[in-house]
Amino acid sequence: MTDEPGAGICRVSVWILALFAAACGAEAPPRIVVVSEHPLAWPVWEEARAAGELRPGAVLLHLDAHEDLGLPTPEAEIVKAGDLEAIRRLAERELDVDDVVVPALLTGTVSELVWVVPPWLDEAPRDHLREVGADRREFRTRVVPLASLPDLDGDVVLDIDLDFFACENPHAGHGDRAIDEETYARHLAESEVRFEGEARDGDEVTESIVLARPPRDYSCRRRLDRVRNVETGAERFVLGYMCMGLYAERFPVHRPAEAEVRALARQVAEALDASGIRPAVITVARSDTAGFVPADRADAIAAEVLRALRARR
């Protein structure tokens, strides 16, 4: 996890403001933590809970171009709130870019999701109950436009992904492709195996191997297939990507001008002010190494968002 550049100065400034606010009887401003990729936001929320800054069962106000309700690896089912070392390790080694919400639901750090969709994304508002975890516990999900933030009870985690402002589709073109046996063997030798499985379809048996994602590499997990014809013995090899398939071309794309980004950052601050929402903690995910935010624009977009957030404090 990383704060923004100058994070040491930023943290000291926040502490000084908090002390001043406490002396004056005013509410302390929330911490703002910038992370490189979205799964690393989850440990920040857990740290805030452990430090007493955030009460369990908070509402997650999630400003993002994606819902991010991916199902994480089984380890997320057993990790406990307060085990910060295990939580950080899981976030860094196992979670994919869309796995940020469910782990926090499983620990009970958040109990409700409010997905705020950007104005440029066509997503219908809705309010419904969903289930999570082996015990199938219910949680509420609301999908709302920025202009209609709801009244929220209890503590709030404000979670902002920069792809809310500018969004690319790094998965375009990530369909399955044929490779030779040498390439198959090289990928296998260079990576740790995460899952293995086998399936049969007619005369073909497919042995699939899902490769573990290296630490802090948030590209999509790769899948290696060895496909064997049981009648002829002929083999072919395939390199694929997990969670892509038919959806690879459906991820949203938005390439705004700088003025549009600046205006939307102001709208976010104004919407928060109008709703009276005072988050207990704020995370901002750059999402540029995964490719959802253009790498050459992430710094400028982050600066606009932080400027707007700090102006309202």
Asked if 239 and 302 sit in the same domain, the reply is: no
Which whole number is the average pLDDT over 86-105?
91
Asked if 91 and 205 sit in the same domain, the reply is: no
Asked if 121 and 64 sit in the same domain, the reply is: yes
Higher confidence at residue 263 or residue 96? 263
Asked if 126 and 69 sit in the same domain, the reply is: yes
Residue at a domain's end among 248, 266, 291: 248
Asked if 71 and 37 sit in the same domain, the reply is: yes
Asked if 268 and 196 sit in the same domain, the reply is: no
Asked if 227 and 93 sit in the same domain, the reply is: no
Whether 168 has a pLDDT exceeding 90, the answer reads yes
Asked if 278 and 232 sit in the same domain, the reply is: no
User: Rounded to the nearest 5 degrees, what angle is found at the Cα of 313, between the Cα atoms of 37 and 258?
Assistant: 55
Does residue 1 sit within a domain?
A: no
In 3D, which of 259, 278, 265, 261 has the Cα closest to residue 305? 265
Asked if 44 and 155 sit in the same domain, the reply is: yes
Task: Grade residue 12 by pLDDT with cuts at 50, 70 and 90.
Answer: very low
pLDDT for 247 equals 54
Residue at a domain's end among 193, 219, 248: 248
Number of domains the chain is built from: 2
Kindly list the strands in the beta sheet with 193-201, ordered across the sheet, starting from the edge strand earlier in the chain: 177-179, 235-241, 222-229, 204-211, 193-201
Does residue 165 sit within a domain?
A: yes
pTM value surpassing 0.85: no
pLDDT tens sequence across 116-145: 999 999 999 999 999 998 889 999 999 999
Does residue 139 sit within a domain?
A: yes
Residue at a domain's end among 232, 248, 264: 248
pLDDT for 6 equals 37
Does residue 55 sit within a domain?
A: yes
Provide the domain limits for residue 18: 7-170+251-311
Q: What is the Cα–Cα distance from 62 to 277, expressed in whole angstroms?
A: 13
Asked if 149 and 163 sit in the same domain, the reply is: yes
Asked if 16 and 121 sit in the same domain, the reply is: yes
